[in-house]
Structures are given as structure tokens and as C-alpha cells.
Amino acid sequence: MTSLRDLSLALRSGELSPVEHVRDVLDRLAADDHAAVVTLDAERALATAEERAAELAGHEWRGPLHGVAVGVKDLFDVVGLPTRAGSAVLADAPAATTEGPVVARLREAGAVIVGKLATHEFAYGPTGDVSATGSARNPRDPTRITGGSSSGSAAAVAAGHLPLALGTDTGASVRTPAALCGVVGLKPEYGTLSADGVFPLAETLDTVGILAADVHSASVAWDVLSRPDGTGGGIQPPGIRGAHVGVLVDDYWQAADPVLAEAVRESVRLLEKAGAEVFEIRTPFIGELAAAYAEIVGAEAYATHRDWLATRRADYQPETVERLEMVADRPAHAYVAAQRTRKRLTAEFRAAVSDMDVLVSATTRLRATPIGERKVDGVPVRSALLALTSPFNLTRWPSVSVPAPVAAGELPAGVQITGVRLEERGILRVAGALERD
Amino acid sequence: MTSLRDLSLALRSGELSPVEHVRDVLDRLAADDHAAVVTLDAERALATAEERAAELAGHEWRGPLHGVAVGVKDLFDVVGLPTRAGSAVLADAPAATTEGPVVARLREAGAVIVGKLATHEFAYGPTGDVSATGSARNPRDPTRITGGSSSGSAAAVAAGHLPLALGTDTGASVRTPAALCGVVGLKPEYGTLSADGVFPLAETLDTVGILAADVHSASVAWDVLSRPDGTGGGIQPPGIRGAHVGVLVDDYWQAADPVLAEAVRESVRLLEKAGAEVFEIRTPFIGELAAAYAEIVGAEAYATHRDWLATRRADYQPETVERLEMVADRPAHAYVAAQRTRKRLTAEFRAAVSDMDVLVSATTRLRATPIGERKVDGVPVRSALLALTSPFNLTRWPSVSVPAPVAAGELPAGVQITGVRLEERGILRVAGALERD
């Protein structure tokens, strides 16, 4: 994969020009065979790269993203490109005429938006294999899913096409594809990055996030996006001595895949070795909390799609229709109760772990499964890819998936580090301690 | 009615002792014949009055509420008293062991909580005549409703029992009874006063508010409650020269009662005479916005009462059961859509009136109607008492009802002043310009 550290240095020093870099990325994306790419913005990207190159020639440097190619999930509006959200329902969507603050901030910071990356249809699924643009294929094994819904963003980064991509995470959609593809996926605390100009799945849970080749790249992107005044802040060195690490030990949090379970144990050992204090955390309320997720996401998603389901039903992928129609008649009181459960159990969860800096678990219960399969060794795939991540959309806490140590040749395993006392920079620092050089 | 200005002065100067004052209020409340009073906290109130008196004797003065008797709607938890919310469902409720920050702040400021005042059952109605404690009766005409749901708070203040009472306002419940009883009712901006320790009706709309004998009393209470650090701030003199006053002119906003319509016109003339610039405001979206109200309040209220309706149905008043069960099967997508409509049209409303300091309309479409009647001269009573106030629960803007000028002997008419550029102190200042000496 492309390391942003090396890339950024090469661009700043003039060793590599933004135009060469962007042209190379565009070529790679054009040749991609993982169904990761939806639309390229080649002409505009190259023109922007020329501008960034001219700035460098005049000794103007916008920061570590200056001239860096970035891709965005096809839920983000990008001026001049349609937003199709992985659906034939939006096949005729006009080119967007505005874009949201996150895309705008990337451009200001010097990033070159090269195009749109695939998404599970309307972001409503953690597998990534249901989309009008085809089933995204995992670069580590093209017969397997990427995970979703930010399928193309994870695949493009994992394939080494680019160091950074934007995704969204409503219940899993940044962290799960990051885990399955072996990249880093950061879901910030709900609300810290604006979701304006992003097609919604469920507005009370939707979170803009970052997929990146490594923790350093994710940290740079987070610094840029979280500091709109451009004050930067520099990357802090890893250092977790004395940190309180809570390991989620209830059955609910356990991986079904033994390689994944061992990877989590090994990650905890690494953190302990690095000086962290490890605690076992029990969450007896987790079943009740997790049940609120489907109620909330279902109601909000169905409310968005109800009119289209009446008029454009045939344009949806069959699984999407089935899942949306399954929740069509849910009562309002159940939705209201789910939101109350979310608030009440978030408070209970926080009280139970208030002395922890971070919580650790697997990101998913399974590693990448074969495309199209919905049950593997008796384990339901969708819930296996959603159950460990969605609780932290409900609590709104920041959470990052980082590749955990596995034997050579094994499919990637993601470990999830969730912030309680620590915010995004803090959990990235902990994640960094798990990264292999 | 009791003016807080005179009362506060008499208490501070020693002309009237807190004990005499509180005993007098307790006597009046015990003899009340408007079904305004639910529970008196006589022993504790007198003991507190003794403490406040001792402080005054030692030249310690907590501010303008020092030693002042205050009543609270029976939705607020008060230590030692049950919270029954006007319902036989809570006939056996235990005494509360904690109380919320608003009650606590009143106590810190020297107020003496004398007891609980009546509410429409579970605050779910703007008439005030449906309650396990009986139909509240309007002190201006005991055959007529007080309005609700803060029926007892409005009646007790209007009857001159006390200068101040706490209420809650989800769609009308402070402003409408204030209007019908001829007192001042302030609904602050949503979220500015904590609703902790208050029985909820609909959590995304519920607002703690103040009923007061006059604008000065309401302003003093607002200062105390909005400045938990006790920094005070002093009451600013009325002064509205140059203020932009938007008069809501669509049919939707018009009173059905001609006396009320003329009272609003006269109020606008008074404001113009005081130097305000008056503008006509049209709100073509108001029907769509208002329709979101029933969807939101219905779903949230039903979610609260669903289990009790299954087990304690006979303990509810029949009208409450009928209204709750009417919304039992509303779908979740309609609730989600209503919340989206609320947000979208609030933005549209704000854009349409962004140059206004305040908006003016009647508080209600009818003045106090006969107890138990649901249609008067062909006008449905509940919507007449809710339609003009609930839009500002949806937008969350601060809003106050102040008695408008009517001929002697006429039933009171409330004018509603809603803040756009102005916040609570600002709308109270405008309301003050309408007050008769």
C-alpha cells in the first residue's frame, strides 16, 4: 500500500510531482479489477494537480495532503459528478453542483479528489457485495467480500491505489471494510465531521470517516479534517504506558473465527507489553443496546426510501428491497423506545467503563467471507460484520479498526479500539502501537 | 394578583415576614376552589420560611425570590411529595427522593416551594379539564377551562394565591393556560432549562416554563433560572424603539374569537406606538410544519404510556386513552419524516423571518371555553388552543404569552411574542410594553 508519509515527503521535495502521482493513481484506478471505482474525475484531478504543482514550484505547501490523491465514497457530493450511492435508482442523477465541508476541507488542504469509489447500495449493508456497480472484491482474495458499506474506499486503499479515502459509518461501514481489507478505518465521534453533502442512511447515526493505508495516514487526515482552521497539530508519537485498556469479554464481543480471536488476544498482549493496564469489561446490557440499532437504522432508512420504493422498486437490488420492506410497518413507538434505550444504555455503558481510556474488541466476528454468502459455518454474515461496531454508533464514541497481527498469507483481521476517555487522536495513538512496521 | 415587585420589597424590608407570607399562601391554596391545588407541602414550606426569615434577620438576602412562595406543576419531582401527573395511574406513586435542577435552583435562590399544582392528565391536553384531580376552573369564570396542561399553575397565579409557578410546555401548556387565565406564561427556548426530574410528555419538545402574575415576575424568575451561577443581571427597562415586529398574517394564525383578534390588533398598534417597525409575515409552510406536531408528540407520548395502557387502562381518563390509542399504530417512518419536516421547515421559517426581532400573534384562537366542551361555535377547542403555540415548540424558539388589552369584564386574551433575533429577556421586554399598569 501507499504510505502517506513517504508520498507526502516525495511530493514536497519535488522527487515526485503531483501530476505524476495523480496520473499514476488515475491509471491504477482505471485498471482496477475489484469493482472499487465508480467514476473518475480525471480531467479536473489533473488540472488540480497542475495547480498544486505550480504552488510547490513557488514554495507554497498546504500541508501533508498537498498534491495527494484522495478518493471518496459515492455518497459524497463532488461538484461535477453524479452521486449514485451504488444504486440504479440514481442512475440518472445529475452532476452535483455543491459539495460538503469535508470534501471542501480536503481540497483546501491540497488533496486532489480523483473520483468516486463504490458503496454497498445506499450504504445499507456491511458486506459490500450488493451494488449497481457490482460486488466489490477484496484485494486480499478477490473471491471474497470487501465488507461494506465503504467497499470501494477500503478496496482502493488496500489495493495500493491511493493512501486515503473518505467513507461513512452508520453501523460498521468504515471499520468493517477496513478490517476485512486490512487497512485502517476511523469512525470519529458522531457529529465531529459534518455529514452535509453526503447521502444519508440514518441521520442519527451517520458518521463521516476515513480509510487509510496506515495509522499515520489516518492521523494526518484526521488532523486536517478536525482542524478546519488549518492549525495542524503534528502527529504525536505512540505511547500508551499506563493507559487503561478495557477488553470486552462477554460472549457477545467474541469473534467466531479463531484466527481473529487469537489476533485480538495478541493485540491485547502487545498493548500490555507496551505498558498498558488491561481490564476485563462486562457489558450485560449489550444485547438490549444492540437491538436498538436495527430499529433506528431501519426506520430512518425506510423513511428516506419509502417514496422511491413505491415508484422505482425494480431499480433497487433485491436484497435492499427485502431489507427495507421488512421494516416498513414498524411502529413509531418502537423507534422512540429504541432512541430512549440508546440514550439510557449509553449512560450506563459510560458509567461502567468510565475509568477506561479505550475499549478493545475484534472489529468483526468473521474475516472476509465469500461474495454473496449470507451464512458461513452457521454464522450469519451480516450480523457478524455489524454486531461489534454498531454499539459505538449508538454510543457515538470514536472508534478505529486497525489490522491486527496475523500469520503471513492469512486474511486480514481487524481490531477495534474505541475511545472512552480518549478522543480520536488518542485512539489512533493506541492503534499505532498495534501496527507492524 | 400578587406582584412580585411589591412582595419582594416587603419581604426584604421586613414589612412582611416569609413565615407570614408562606402561611397566607398555604391558607389561600388550602381554600382554593378552582381545582388548582394537588398537594401542599405545608410543614416543610413553613420550616423553610423560618430559615429564610432567620437569614433576613441576619441581613442575608438571596435575591428577589428570598422567602417567596412558589408552586410547581405536578410533573416536577419535589422531595417528599409524590409526582402524580394528574393521573390515577400514579395514585400510589411514592414520594420523590430527588428533584431536578430547576426546582433546586429556585430553592437556592430563596424561593419556598409550597406544593404541587394541577395538570391536565400527563400533560397531554391543552384544555386542563381532564385530570384525576378534577377539571381546573378558570378564576375569571369558574364555569370555563383554565387551558392546559399547566392548569393549576395558571389558575393559582390568576387567583392571586402566589406570584409564580412552574409549568411545562410541549405544545401549548404554559402559554395557553396563561392566555386563558390572564397571566404571563414564558416558554424558553427548548433545552435552556433542564427537564430532568420532570415527568415527560414528548422529550424532543418538552420545555420547562414559568407562569407569573406579570412580566416583571416572569423576568425575575427567568433571571434566576437561566443564571445558575447567581450572577443576576437586573431587569432591563422596556424599550422597543426600532424593533422589527413581524405580524403573522396568514389565515392559519388568526383568532376565531373577534375580541381576541381585536386584542392582537390593538397590541400591534401599541408596539408601533412604542416605536416598533411592524412587518406582515407570511408562512406558506405552516400547515405542513404544524402537521408534524401531532406525529411527534403522539409517538413519544404513546411510547411512554404503552405498557401502562396494557395494564392500567381503566386508571386513565377516557379522553386520554382515546387520544393515546388513536396514535398507537402510527408507523416509524412517519415519525422520522415528521422530525425531518420539523428541521427543514424550521430552517425555512427562520430564513423567512431572519430580519425580525419578534413575531406576534394571538396565543390561542379562542378565549376560555366552557369546561368539557370540545367544539364552540363550530371551532374545535383543542386545536384552537394548540395551533398557534405548537409551531414554536417545533422551531424551539422562545415564546411568551402576555395578557392583551380587552374591555373591562371581558375574558382574558393572550398575545404571543416569539423571539427570532431576541432571546427570552428580549421577548419579555417586548411583552412588558403591552402590559397595563
A86-107 confidence digits (pLDDT tens) = 999 999 999 999 999 999 999 9
Is this prediction's ipTM beyond 0.90?
yes
Is residue A237 pLDDT above 80, yes or no? no
Counted across chains A and B, CB pairs separated by less than 8 A come out at 59
Is residue B235 pLDDT above 60, yes or no? no
Of A298, A306, A332, the CB nearest to B299: A332
Band the pLDDT of A231: cuts 50, 70, 90: low
For the question of residue B401 being annotated catalytic, the response is no
**pLDDT, tens digit, 9 for 90 and up, residues A108-151:** 999 999 999 999 999 999 999 999 999 999 999 999 999 999 99
Domains of chain A: 4-226 (3.90.1300.10), 244-286+335-432 (3.90.1300.10)
pLDDT of residue A227: 79
Is residue B113 pLDDT above 70, yes or no? yes
Cβ(A150)–Cβ(A129) under 8 Å? Answer: no
> Which chain A residues have a beta carbon less than 8 Å from that of B333?
299, 302-303, 306, 328
How many angstroms away from the CA of A188 is the closest CA of chain B?
24
Q: What letters, b where the CB count within 10 A reaches 16 and e where it falls short, cover A48-68?
A: bbeebbebbeeeeebbbbbbb
Amino acid at B196: D
Q: Do A332 and B337 touch (CB under 8 A)?
A: no
Band the pLDDT of B127: cuts 50, 70, 90: very high
pLDDT of residue B436: 73
Whose cell is 461513512? That residue is A168
For the question of residue A401 being annotated catalytic, the response is no
Is residue B185 pLDDT above 90, yes or no? yes
pLDDT of residue A230: 54
Q: Do A331 and B333 touch (CB under 8 A)?
A: no
Cβ(A127)–Cβ(A33) under 8 Å? Answer: no
Is residue A286 pLDDT above 70, yes or no? yes
- Which candidate in A335, A340, A344 is best for mutational testing of the B interface (most B CBs within 10 A)? A335
- Tell me what the pLDDT averaged over chain B comes to: 96
Band the pLDDT of A380: cuts 50, 70, 90: very high
Is residue A234 pLDDT above 60, yes or no? no
**pLDDT, tens digit, 9 for 90 and up, residues B252-269:** 999 999 999 999 999 999
Whose cell is 405498557? That residue is B307
DSSP character string of A376-419: ETTEEHHHHTTTTTTHHHHS---EEEEEPP--TTSPP-EEEEEE
Q: Give the chain A residue whose CA is nearest to the CA of B300.
A: A336
Spatial CA neighbour of A211 closest among A181, A190, A255:
A181
First-to-last alpha carbon distance for chain A, in angstroms, is 13
pLDDT of residue B161: 97
- Tell me what the pLDDT averaged over chain A comes to: 96
Residues of B with CB under 8 A from a CB of A: 203, 295, 298-300, 302-303, 306, 327-337, 340
Of A8, A150, A173, A219, the active-site residue reads: A173
Whose cell is 412582611? That residue is B16
Residues of A with CB under 8 A from a CB of B: 203, 295, 298-300, 302-303, 306, 327-337, 340
Q: How far apart are CA B404 and CA B416, in angstroms?
A: 9
Q: Do B332 and A337 touch (CB under 8 A)?
A: no
For the question of residue A173 being annotated catalytic, the response is yes
pLDDT of residue A233: 52
Q: Can you tell me the mean pLDDT for A254-259?
A: 97
> Measured over all CA atoms, what is the biggest interatomic distance in chain A, rounded to whole angstroms?
61
**C-alpha grid cell, residue B1:** 394578583
Number of other CB atoms surrounding residue A393 within 10 Å:
27
Of A203, A300, A333, the CB nearest to B302: A333
Q: How far apart are CA A266 and CA B327, in angstroms?
A: 53
Q: How far apart are CA A181 and CA B280, in angstroms?
A: 60
Q: Do A335 and B337 touch (CB under 8 A)?
A: no
Q: Give the chain A residue whose CA is nearest to the CA of B324.
A: A333
How many angstroms away from the CA of B293 is the closest CA of chain A?
14
Q: How far apart are CA B384 and CA B369, in angstroms?
A: 10
B43 dihedral zone (left: phi>0; alpha: psi -120 to 50; beta): alpha
Q: Can you tell me the mean pLDDT for B157-178?
A: 98
How many angstroms away from the CA of A231 is the closest CA of chain B?
31
% of chain A surpassing 70 pLDDT: 97
Cβ(A118)–Cβ(A39) under 8 Å? Answer: no
Is residue B229 pLDDT above 90, yes or no? no
SS3 B374: coil
pLDDT of residue A2: 73
Of B203, B332, B334, the CB nearest to A334: B332
Q: Do A333 and B295 touch (CB under 8 A)?
A: no
Whole-angstrom Cα Rg for chain A: 20
Q: Do A333 and B334 touch (CB under 8 A)?
A: no
